[in-house]
Amino acid sequence: MDYAVTITAKETAELLPLERPKGPVGLDEVAGKTLVTLISAGTELASAYLGSNFPSTPGYAAVFQVEEVGENVRTVQPGDLAFCMGNHRSYYRVKADQLLLVPAGLPPEIAVFARMMGVSMTTLTTTTARPPAKVLVMGLGLVGHLAAKNFLACGYNVYACDPVESRRRIAFETGIPNVLPEAPLEDPELSGRFSLVIECSGHEQALLDGCNVIRKKGEVVCIATPWKRYTELYAHELHYAIFHKYVVVRSGWEWELPRDFTDFTENSIWGNIQGALNWLSADRVNVEGIYDLFSPDRAQEAYQKLLHKQTDRLAAVFDWRNI
């Protein structure tokens, strides 16, 4: 029997039976048992766990062990570990061109973070800022934390801020050196010196602060989804900052890039995720100490802890190996 983590009602997650696709694997398909899947806390909580359309089966990323390969598949063998994008379920069957092989020796619970690294790698691809420029990451949830590490790995002078002490502590303890409680608006050594601000909180005050702390003609890239309004700020305040500092404000939506390699375009979604897997394998980016492992039959507990901030970890990974 196969299973999937299913949101059956608001704030209710269950592990429910799932029917496996019938028939043999297709000529170009690969199939196997899931090892781990990663919760994307921001999106899954806002759009699924606290949503209004039920049932839903959320999920972003998975690593599975290949058991079967189609007749036309030449690059994947039974026993390989494969990364793919998808929801929280115990069995995967995908086209061979919709997966990436996990580098040898890389644990699946580490490899699965390549998906969330890819979110900010789009900005890394498209920004005009070049190392060793100063970069400020605003918000140290999972996406912001990994953004800071991605840019550090490329030689940028990275600063990061978050009002939550536990997030700052995790960042500092796991290799992010310049961690602040808020944007350094009053620091003459930093204010006006950042070439790039990466807004990863979805909070409009952070966006405004980013526009005020950036250098003239710098970029402020909005990576986080603005799920709701947090303040009573007027648009005039943002307008004023943009106008007087010549700020380039733009979306950091990762799907600005094509899914696959195309001519005349730098990088792609899959290319960036492949790069993230390689960085994790080489320990260029470290994710140890930022996540908790949960069995999928404890899905309700995992989502509740993330929702109510009952853990100081940034992420939760479902471990399917005993299901």
> What residue spans define the domains of the chain?
2-113+287-319, 116-256
CA–CA dist 119, 128 (Å, integer): 17
Which CATH number, 3.40.190.10, 3.30.470.30, 3.40.50.300, 3.90.180.10, labels domain 2-113+287-319? 3.90.180.10
Q: Residue 298, Cα to own-chain centre: how many angstroms? A: 22
Instruction: Classify domain 116-256 by CATH architecture.
Output: 3-Layer(aba) Sandwich (3.40)
Cα–Cα–Cα angle for 142, 120, 217, rounded to 5 degrees: 120
Burial of 164 (0-12, 13-18, 19+ CB in 10 A): middle
CA–CA dist 316, 291 (Å, integer): 5
Q: What is the DSSP pairing of strand 157-161 with strand 29-38?
A: unpaired
- Segments of the chain with pLDDT less than 50: none
What's the start-to-end Cα distance of the chain, in Å? 10
Burial of 12 (0-12, 13-18, 19+ CB in 10 A): middle
